[in-house]
Amino acid sequence: MIDIFNSCRSEADSVAVSVSVGLPSVVVEHWGVWVECEVAPQGTVRTPLPLAYNISNHGSHTAELALSMQVSDAFMFAGHKEVCIVVFVCCG
């Protein structure tokens, strides 16, 4: 329930208005998907810079993720890439 109050203080004889509106409930769950990125501490010009993403699911449900990498003119072979993955629940 949300309450909305409106009052106009510019006039002495104005009436304050109060309206209550019911809102639907929303269920929010903690999924527990963790993403870690491993990057080399330094890079060299015109050599590949390896990146490693570790994705783990510490939640109670299997997670389906859509990953997208945007195009960049500053990097070779950095075209638009999309992949869909399923991350299963970790054991232990």
The tens digit of pLDDT for each residue in 7-59 reads 555 666 666 667 777 778 888 777 788 889 898 888 888 787 788 889 998 88
Model pTM? 0.52
Nearest to 65 by CA among 91, 86, 44: 86
Residue 83 domain-assigned (yes or no):
yes
C-alpha to C-alpha distance for 11 and 14, rounded to whole angstroms: 6
Residue 53 domain-assigned (yes or no):
yes
Count of domains observed in the chain = 1
Residue 10 domain-assigned (yes or no):
no
Residue with tokens 């990146």: 51
Check: CB of residue 68 under 8 Å from CB of residue 85.
Answer: no
Residue 23 domain-assigned (yes or no):
no
Residue 52 domain-assigned (yes or no):
yes
Amino acid at 91: C
The reported pLDDT for the residue numbered 76 is 65
Residue 7 domain-assigned (yes or no):
no
Host domain of residue 51:
33-87
Residue 49 domain-assigned (yes or no):
yes
Residue 59 domain-assigned (yes or no):
yes
The reported pLDDT for the residue numbered 3 is 57
CA distances from 16 to 2, 4, 38, 46 (A): 17, 11, 58, 68
